[in-house]
Amino acid sequence: MAQIAPFRALRYDPARVELAQVVTQPYDKITPEMQERYYAASPYNLVRIILGKQQPGDGSGENTYTRAAEFFREWRRQGVFLQERDPALYVYAQRFAVPGGKAELERRGFIALGRIEEYSAGVVFRHEQTLAKPKADRLELLRATSAHFGQLFMLYSDAAGEIDRLLTVATEPEIEVRDEYGVIHRLWRMTDPALIDLVRSKMRDKKLVIADGHHRYETALNYCNERRAAATTKVGGVPRERSSDEAEVRREGREYAPYELVMMTFIPMESPGLVILPTHRVVHGLAQFSAGDFREKAGPYFSVEEVDSSIDAGRARAILREGGRSGTSVLAVTADRVFLLDRPKPLSYSLLAGLSLRQQSLDVVQLHKILLESVLGISEEAIRDQQNIRYIRDTEEALAQARSGAANVAFFTNPVRMKEVKEIALAGEVMPQKSTDFYPKLLSGLTIYALE
């Protein structure tokens, strides 16, 4: 049963800052160049907290996490962040054009607190594997700041549109900001207790699928378990720690502590504005690699066709789309050659044994299990630790890295479809890390959930 709650968000004071100069993309989408731009935009840009610069001499006494905590404390003290007076749900809409396209779409949902659940509870479902390093990083930040600065992107089914209709607003948004990708983000506050209770009641029977934020969700879960273990003193079976913002979720008389909740944006799976982009795999640092050897070793598993080595990003996407109509379609780009791998041969499925038919049919799974692990010999552990793999959204950037020699080979696939995400998640299965890239991202800094 999904438990959600309104909360008294911390928000930037518009009298102190221009919002467009202080909000950011999620931490894992911030490149070094973006980090520099955010730093220059405003002394109060959220990047200083969620992805601060490392300094010479950083150690246990002072580092990016201790500086983040100090910025957060000081900005609250100065009134840069103000806490809302009343608990609220926040309607959140994004209007955007798909990269490479012209048609405008809108994606709409709401921000609330959600109770953190173990996956085994059958309430929250993941669809991707996670990486150890990002979780360790986010856990240190959460320990230091005791706050969530970005929302987890959660999907739920609203086929009849009941909840979506409740979120319809006719007033002007309280926030409207355009990000660096041209996406317009709008926010409305809903404080009517009766309407909030109605939304909460209709969400109770929902299953939640993580779209974006697997690492931060599992970090929040780990932090929650840490705090539960530390809260050994009980009063009537209830942890002594209580939320100061009246955002508790109650069930059977139990009151949840602030660390048992996390900030989420809930989007219907049926939304016409759900767009999934592929994330490209760029392989680097292999001791021995040649395009000819790669083609020869991939031949027993796929039909391999050499295509024009001068293709640009648009042509690459067109080739993938055309090939994907009949099944698997993977492009491999090296410094001077390009291969289309499709029509898997019977031998390929011997490497996919133990996976469901749902997973065996996915390009990204075949890429990982056959091409990365078997053909190139990169271990699953090395992939998990990102020893030889970079994950890049931008097709042109991935092409450039392969052609410049900064990488051995770059792999491109078609995006996973929403139907496949839903089926795999609800079946309790996971795809390789970074299998999906939901676009656009939810901005960090629109609302903040402080646990203390």
pLDDT confidence of residue 244 = 40
Spans of the chain, pLDDT less than 50: 235-236, 238-249, 251-253
List, for residues 195-226, the tens digit of each pLDDT value.
Answer: 999 999 999 999 999 999 999 999 999 999 99
List, for residues 177-193, the tens digit of each pLDDT value.
Answer: 999 999 999 999 999 99
Looking at the structure, tell me whether residues 15 and 103 fall in a common domain.
yes
CA distance 25 to 149: 11
> How many domains are contained in the chain?
2
User: Which pair of tokens denotes residue 166?
Assistant: 């409740």
pLDDT confidence of residue 253 = 43
Looking at the structure, tell me whether residues 289 and 302 fall in a common domain.
yes
CA distance 40 to 328: 44
Residue 351 φ/ψ region, left for φ over 0, alpha for ψ in the -120 to 50 degree band, beta for the rest: alpha
Looking at the structure, tell me whether residues 250 and 136 fall in a common domain.
yes
pLDDT confidence of residue 254 = 57
Looking at the structure, tell me whether residues 270 and 355 fall in a common domain.
no
What is the residue range of 64's domain?
4-275+440-450
- Residue 50 — φ and ψ, nearest 5°? -85, -20
CA distance 160 to 149: 32
CA distance 336 to 291: 8
Looking at the structure, tell me whether residues 216 and 349 fall in a common domain.
no
Looking at the structure, tell me whether residues 30 and 45 fall in a common domain.
yes
pLDDT confidence of residue 234 = 52
User: Residue type at 112?
Assistant: A
Among 220, 155, 160, 121, residue whose Cα is nearest residue 424: 155
Looking at the structure, tell me whether residues 249 and 313 fall in a common domain.
no
pLDDT confidence of residue 217 = 97
Q: Answer for the pair 428, 343: CB distance below 8 angstroms, yes or no.
A: no
**The pTM of the whole model exceeds 0.85:** yes
Domain assignment present for 123: yes
The enclosing domain of 343 has a CATH number of 3.30.1760
pLDDT confidence of residue 131 = 81
pLDDT confidence of residue 209 = 98
User: Which pair of tokens denotes residue 299?
Assistant: 């031949």
Percentage of the chain modeled with pLDDT above 90: 85
CA distance 342 to 344: 6
